[in-house]
Structure 1
Amino acid sequence: MTIDKTALIQHIKDREQILVLRRAIDKLERVLENYSIEYTDFLDPYQRKLCHSFLNRFKEVSFFEEGGLEDSERKSIVMYPIYIDRNDIEIPIKALRIDGSFKFKELSHRDYLGALMNLGIKREKIGDILIHKNYGTIITFEEIVNYIKYNLKMINKESVFVTEMDISELVEVEEEYTEKSLTLSSYRLDVFVSTICNISREKSSSLIKNGYVKVNWQTIGIPSKEIHVDDMISIRGFGRIKVTQNLGKTKKDRNKVVVRLI
């Protein structure tokens, strides 16, 4: 069955995601033509939402998301013919435990990801990276497990060794954050970025327009976008901020919110 890929995604305005969506449609096409079980690369919540917009149109195909843990941020979408029992599907996702002398140096998410990128592994082949006190965990696809096991020897100049672990042994990481109250002139995105990063509105607008800022995993180029409670703002080079509470107006008619700096 040939799918009109352009027609399926013509309603999607985010041009940055077109390649990701076309790859997902290729997988969908294989399910329809070959009655096979297919899975996408690891996708963030925004990318998966875009995929759902066209997957839901095909009643002969079922799908679910898998990322190792129920609350995983990055997940693969598994697609299969509707007549196949989901319980009979073998998930190609594996977990690798990373051990080393972490008591001497704390390794960050960026350290882990950088080491994997240096091995030539693409970001979309890596799911969540879970950092515990004494070890780390990388969620990835079975097809590259052995490559990582035999080639990942160092992370930020620290020697490490890699062992495979069962997905059922994965442990959630409690998110570390600092809570902070902000007083804002408005709920505009550029006001949030300016206040959080302690930079001018002009500089914050420039960051947004140049694609350095995401809201709920979507790149936003509009400084005037309004931010709401539960929105996640990601600023490249700075980190993430989640808006957790709106405390209303101050006596000077400014807006007070509570955010988590992650």
Structure 2
Amino acid sequence: MIKDKEKYVSHINDKDQILNMRKLLDKIEIVIDKHSIQSTDFLDPYSRRLSKSILNRFDNISYSEDGGLINAERKIISIYPDYLSFEKIQAPIVPLSISGNIEGLTHKDFLGSLMGLGITREKVGDILLHEDDAQVMVDDSISDYIIFNLKKVGNKNVKVESICREEIKKGKEDYKEKYITIPSLRLDAIVSSTLNLSRNDSLNFIKHGKIKVNWEPISKPFFEVNEGDLVSVKGYGRFILSRVFGKTKRNRVKASITIFK
């Protein structure tokens, strides 16, 4: 039994993440008490960073991360007694191939069709787009359901089948570069210029928790974005502040943005 669970989440301010970390503590408790293996849902890098800040405080457990590919964005954390061998731990991931006339379909199309089946985002890992198919990492509890029920993505007929892990390959990324000049590297300024929004709209998005930097919700408009930071805006997609070139004669910041389609 874990005593005083609240002390393990006292350093977390994100209310949604506090709930997730309490679930993590429940799994840790099961591993310790039952000497069993427990797995989380698919977690983004921010959630995994918070998870590890808790997991590393327990000496009698070990854990591993798996998302299908080594550089996967979304991964499952498997938690197990420290006496078990890492090689024996297999995360409950099933890779699926979605094929058919998929030309022109985007990451959002595939994710939207999966959500349309009543599947939660936490049960779906990375979606890897290729010329002939899209490979999707899913929790093994829903793989059969998807295979038998996903018939269309967008308005196009598709076929779904499970594949071996050895068949997983890195997906292609569709993006465009945009050059901007902004008064500063403040989050609201960068979002406004990149997405052609008013400064007031950007401020409202930040206020209502619709913007994340490196997967972490940001509530302060004066938050400064750094080179390489990934910014996501709900309903608008994601972009990276790829490079800062310096300042213009009018003291404005010159930068390049990589916008993912």
Give the TM-score band, short-chain normalised: over 0.9
TM-score (norm 1): 0.95
- Who is 1:25 aligned against? 25
Deviation per CA, 1:19-73: give whole Å up to 9, x if none.
2111111111111111111110001110111111111101111111100011111
Confirm or deny: 8 A CA contact 1:190 1:204 kept in the other structure: yes
Task: Note the 1:133-152 alignment, pairs <5 A.
Answer: 133-152=131-150
After TM superposition, the structure 1 stretch with the greater mean CA deviation from structure 2, 50-59 or 139-148, is 139-148
- Who is 2:229 aligned against? 231
TM-score (norm 2): 0.96
Task: Note the 1:182-193 alignment, pairs <5 A.
Answer: 182-193=180-191
**Partners of 2:99 and 2:172 in 1: CA distance:** 19
**Partners of 1:198 and 1:164 in 2: CA distance:** 41
CA RMSD of aligned residues (A): 1.3
**Partners of 1:94 and 1:42 in 2: CA distance:** 12
- Who is 2:2 aligned against? 2
- Who is 1:215 aligned against? 213
**SS at 1:171 equivalent:** coil
Identity %: 43
- Who is 1:241 aligned against? 239
- Who is 1:172 aligned against? 170
Instruction: Give the Å deviation of 1:115.
Output: 1.5
**SS at 1:40 equivalent:** strand
**Partners of 2:5 and 2:167 in 1: CA distance:** 39
- Who is 2:157 aligned against? 159
> Which runs of 5 or more structure 2 residues have no equivalent in the other structure?
none
**Number of aligned residues:** 260
- Who is 1:120 aligned against? 118
Deviation per CA, 1:97-139: give whole Å up to 9, x if none.
1111224xx2221221121112111110111111112211110
> Which runs of 5 or more structure 1 residues have no equivalent in the other structure?
none
Instruction: Give the Å deviation of 1:199.
Output: 2.2
Instruction: Give the Å deviation of 1:208.
Output: 1.1
Confirm or deny: 8 A CA contact 2:129 2:172 kept in the other structure: no
**Partners of 1:54 and 1:174 in 2: CA distance:** 34
Confirm or deny: 8 A CA contact 2:226 2:241 kept in the other structure: yes
Confirm or deny: 8 A CA contact 1:190 1:223 kept in the other structure: yes
Instruction: Give the Å deviation of 1:200.
Output: 2.0
1:86 maps to 2:59 = no
